[in-house]
C-alpha cells in the first residue's frame, strides 16, 4: 500500500513489491498507486487506490507494508508551513492522525505492519530538497509510532543512498530507479525474514534451474 515509491516499475516487474516477492519466495499483492495520498476526497478514484487507506481491501494478511504522506505534504502544502498537515497525518508523539489510525486498523486485522520512509538525495539537489526537514520529521514521528507496538515496524531509507550517488533515483531525482526499488525491497525483506526466521532468496537464486518461479501462498502485501 502506498504511493509512487512502491508503484515505480510495477508494470515492468521491477518494483519494491516484485523484489519482496522474489526475495521472500512469497506472494505479494501490490495495491500502491502513483500520486496516492492519505487525504483524498474524490470517492471513485479514491476507491480505486488514490486514497491510501482505501487500498486495503481486507483479508487475513501476515504483513502489510505501507508508505505515504509525501504527496499530502508536497502537493498539499508544497512542504511550506506544513505543520498542520503533518499533525493531521501523525501527531508528534505518534499516537494520533491518519497514519496511526490506518496502522491501528491493520493491526486489528492481525497483520504486522511495516511503514517505509522516503529516499534522500545526499550530496545532490532535487526538486523537493526543501522538503528534507519535513521528511525527517515524518520519519521521527512514525518511528515513535512503531516504538509503541512490537507489531509495527519502521524502515528508514534515510541512509540507503550513498553520498552523491544518483543511481538510486530516476532522472527526476524524486522517484527510485530500478536499482533503488530493488534496494528498498531488499531492506524490507530482510526485516520480514529476520522477524519470521526466514531465509532471503538472492536475486540470482530466485528462479529454479528450469527458469520457473516457486509456488506462492497469499500472505505478504505492500
Does residue 50 sit within a domain? no
Judge whether residue 14 has pLDDT over 90.
Answer: yes
Residue 119 within a domain? yes
CA 102, CA 27: separation in Å to the nearest integer?
22
Taking phi over 0 as left and psi of -120 to 50 as alpha, with beta for the rest, 205 belongs to alpha
Number of separate domains in the chain: 1
Given CA atoms 31, 37, 39, 45 in this order, what sign does their dihedral have?
negative
Selected residue with higher pLDDT from 180 and 220: 180
Residue 147: other Cβ atoms inside 10 A: 11
For position 212, what pLDDT does the model report?
35
Query: 19 or 57: whose pLDDT is higher?
Result: 19
128 vs 189, more confident: 189
Residue 125, domain member (yes or no): yes
Is 156 part of any domain?
A: yes
Question: What is the pLDDT averaged over residues 2-25?
Answer: 97
Distances (CA, A) of 100 to 15, 91, 95, 121: 26, 9, 6, 27
Q: Is residue 143 part of a domain?
A: yes
Per-residue model confidence (pLDDT) at position 37: 96
Total Cβ atoms within 10 A of residue 24: 25
Task: Answer whether residue 120 shows pLDDT above 90.
Answer: yes
Supply the range of the domain harboring residue 179.
4-45+55-221
Give the range among 61-70, 172-181, 194-203 with minimum mean pLDDT.
194-203
- Nearest CA to 173 among 133, 123, 117, 139? 123
Output the pLDDT for position 105: 96
Band of pLDDT at residue 131, cut at 50, 70 and 90: confident
Task: Check which CATH number belongs to the domain holding 36 and give it.
Answer: 3.40.50.1110
Residue range 137-143: mean pLDDT, rounded: 97
Q: What is the mean pLDDT of the chain?
A: 89
Amino acid at each position: 500500500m502506498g504511493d509512487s515509491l512502491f508503484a515505480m516499475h510495477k508494470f515492468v516487474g521491477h518494483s519494491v513489491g516484485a523484489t519482496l516477492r522474489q526475495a521472500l519466495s512469497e506472494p505479494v499483492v501490490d495495491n500502491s498507486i502513483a500520486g496516492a495520498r492519505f487525504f483524498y476526497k474524490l470517492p471513485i478514484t479514491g476507491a480505486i487506490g488514490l486514497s491510501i487507506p482505501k487500498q486495503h481491501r481486507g483479508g487475513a494478511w501476515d504483513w502489510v507494508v505501507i508508505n505515504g504522506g509525501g504527496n499530502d505534504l508536497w502537493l498539499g502544502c508544497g512542504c511550506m508551513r506544513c505543520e498542520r498537515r503533518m499533525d493531521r497525518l501523525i501527531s508528534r508523539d505518534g499516537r494520533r492522525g491518519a497514519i496511526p489510525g490506518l496502522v491501528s486498523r491493520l493491526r486489528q486485522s492481525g497483520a504486522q505492519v511495516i511503514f517505509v520512509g522516503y529516499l534522500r538525495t545526499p550530496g545532490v539537489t532535487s526538486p523537493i530538497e526543501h522538503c528534507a526537514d519535513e521528511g525527517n520529521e515524518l520519519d521521527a514521528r512514525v518511528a515513535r509510532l512503531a516504538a509503541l507496538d512490537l507489531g509495527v515496524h519502521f524502515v528508514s531509507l534515510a541512509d540507503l543512498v550513498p553520498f552523491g550517488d544518483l543511481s538510486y533515483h530516476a532522472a527526476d531525482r524524486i522517484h527510485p530507479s530500478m536499482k533503488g526499488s530493488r534496494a528498498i525491497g531488499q531492506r524490507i525483506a530482510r526485516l520480514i525474514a529476520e522477524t519470521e526466521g526466514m531465509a532471503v532468496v538472492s536475486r540470482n537464486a530466485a528462479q529454479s534451474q528450469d527458469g520457473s518461479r516457486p509456488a506462492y501462498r497469499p500472505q505478504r502485501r505492500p
